Structure 1
């Protein structure tokens, strides 16, 4: 099943250079595209690959189009952000062949007393929906998921197989939670009395906004007293830990293995590279970009980029420190040589 280039432009905009009736059946990388595919050029370093691709059409930026037009014979869709256009086109092609789960409740599912399930929702095999839970229109709950008491799942949200969504937690519309994720586990809260840990009941919730993606095996702890909050549009990769009472601002994205300690507030439009570590009880401003494996020990009040293992700093400062560290061995040898020279001169003076 394909679509005309003209239809893509009608849906997503852009300037079409070529035949509007040309039909393409899917989207593929430059090196893999065939004569029925559309491809995209989002990195100018790959211009040579674009000229050699077999794709019937290309999605390109205005700057790249000036270069590509002279050597590429296929059609082109010119747009300011080819990568975003690719994402939208890929969603559309996926929708043409996607299998939509049928509405209804599988016979092997358990539905607790008073649970409300929209008629258009899909409840897969061996799903457990506890008493009082609410599942919205067109939601998809795949096999083996657990939905806790009085939890709320919004319209069009999709839980992949074996998601655990504990009692009283809520997620808005169009969310995606991947397999193995656990939402609403107890936070790590204990009081210490003479070396013995006493558990603090975790009675808050996890409140998740609209259009949030949560990756496989990621965990989000419920609040101790107040709620853990994840605002609209947040994207969490696989294997992330969000501790109790954290608050993540809208449209912030975190790569795999990020760890966030409790009661931390993160602003909007932030990004965190893989394995970044965020200390507890701190605040991070809007538009902060944290590099991979970077430790954030204190609050960040200014937007910008922060990278480095030790110490955390602005990129230019960290790079200077890295140069010094690389030269420490040579500096040590020079210091030792100077010490020997000083000792020799001192001994000569004493004689």
Structure 2
């Protein structure tokens, strides 16, 4: 597959400088791209590498162009966000290279007679689809998936192999759920009665919006009474856990191993670094950014970047610091007593 640069710019936008008839067959990193490929510069620190790239075309910003244009002989596509442009170009090439799936239901799949599967959808081997399920147009359900009673899958949504999508759950259009994800398992709800745990039935659902991507082995629990909500364009990495009755706002992104306890409400346009933890019942407003491995133990009501962990140190130094932290309570009392003594002496003087 090859495409003329002018055709690509007509699709994706940007300002083309150079030969519009140059053809490219794909996109590659600065240091490995050859004369049949295009590449991109999103980090100004790599300007010198970009100037020497062998790529046929270079995606870059207006700010970087003056430093590159004099020494780079290939075509240039100037855009306000080279990284996002790269992503869209990569999507285009990936779509052209993909092997199309033939719509239809594989002979080994089990589809309940009351299920509604659009004729344009693909249902792979050993898929199980329960009663009253709705699978919309051009959806892809790969091998071994389970879709429970009354669930709904939107148009062009793609379930990779072995996804479990429990009863009553819903996902909108153009979603992606990767292998091993479990959507709609019971939340961790138990009442304690004199040391014995009494299970609380989890009768809510998981309701997922449009353009949501959910990583491999990620789990999202159904609500106890109300629903767990994942709004549009949320991106969840691999091995994330979202507890029951959580509400994740649109365009929020979470890196791997994030954990969100039940009934937390997270706003729009938030980001969470890997292994960040959010306690239950908290509220986090829009545009909050949490550093990796941070523990959110209280509600955050003001946008900003938050970090909550000790910097890495040698073990011996860390142990000394930990000992000091454990004694902060008694040290505070001693300081208060000293302040009282100093104040008393000052007044007498």
Shared fold (TM-score, shorter chain, > 0.5): yes
Distance 1:45 1:141, change over 3 A: same
Distance 1:327 1:105, change over 3 A: closer
1:60-97 deviations in whole A, cap 9, x for unaligned?
10111110001111110011110010011111111111
Which residue in the other structure is 2:16 paired with?
A: 16
Map residues 59-208 of structure 1 onto 2, 5 A cutoff.
Answer: 59-208=59-208
Question: What secondary structure, in the 3-state scheme, does the structure 2 residue paired with 1:62 have?
Answer: coil
Which residue in the other structure is 1:263 paired with?
A: 263
Question: What secondary structure, in the 3-state scheme, does the structure 2 residue paired with 1:47 have?
Answer: helix
TM-score (norm 2): 0.89
1:307-342 deviations in whole A, cap 9, x for unaligned?
1225xxxxxxx99xxxxx88977xx9xxxxxxxxxx
Structure 1, 237-246 or 48-57: larger mean CA deviation: 48-57
Distance 1:33 1:195, change over 3 A: same
The CA distance in 2 between the partners of 1:238 and 1:286, in whole Å, is 23
Count matched residues: 318
The CA distance in 2 between the partners of 1:328 and 1:261, in whole Å, is 32
Distance 1:143 1:287, change over 3 A: same
Question: What secondary structure, in the 3-state scheme, does the structure 2 residue paired with 1:131 have?
Answer: coil
Structure 1 position 167, deviation (Å): 0.2
Would the aligned equivalents of 2:169 and 2:206 in 1 still touch at CA under 8 Å? Answer: yes
Structure 1 position 252, deviation (Å): 0.2
1:260-280 deviations in whole A, cap 9, x for unaligned?
000000000000000000000
Map residues 221-232 of structure 1 onto 2, 5 A cutoff.
Answer: 221-232=221-232
Map residues 245-324 of structure 1 onto 2, 5 A cutoff.
Answer: 245-309=245-309
| Runs of 4+ that moved beyond 6 A | 325-329
Distance 1:130 1:16, change over 3 A: same
Structure 1 position 113, deviation (Å): 2.9
Question: What secondary structure, in the 3-state scheme, does the structure 1 residue paired with 2:211 have?
Answer: coil
The CA distance in 2 between the partners of 1:261 and 1:148, in whole Å, is 24
Which residue in the other structure is 1:5 paired with?
A: 5
Map residues 203-214 of structure 1 onto 2, 5 A cutoff.
Answer: 203-214=203-214
The CA distance in 1 between the partners of 2:176 and 2:156, in whole Å, is 9
The CA distance in 1 between the partners of 2:80 and 2:191, in whole Å, is 55
The CA distance in 1 between the partners of 2:319 and 2:82, in whole Å, is 43
1:181-223 deviations in whole A, cap 9, x for unaligned?
0000000000001111010000000000000000000000000
Would the aligned equivalents of 2:191 and 2:199 in 1 still touch at CA under 8 Å? Answer: yes
Structure 1 position 116, deviation (Å): 0.2
Would the aligned equivalents of 2:296 and 2:308 in 1 still touch at CA under 8 Å? Answer: no
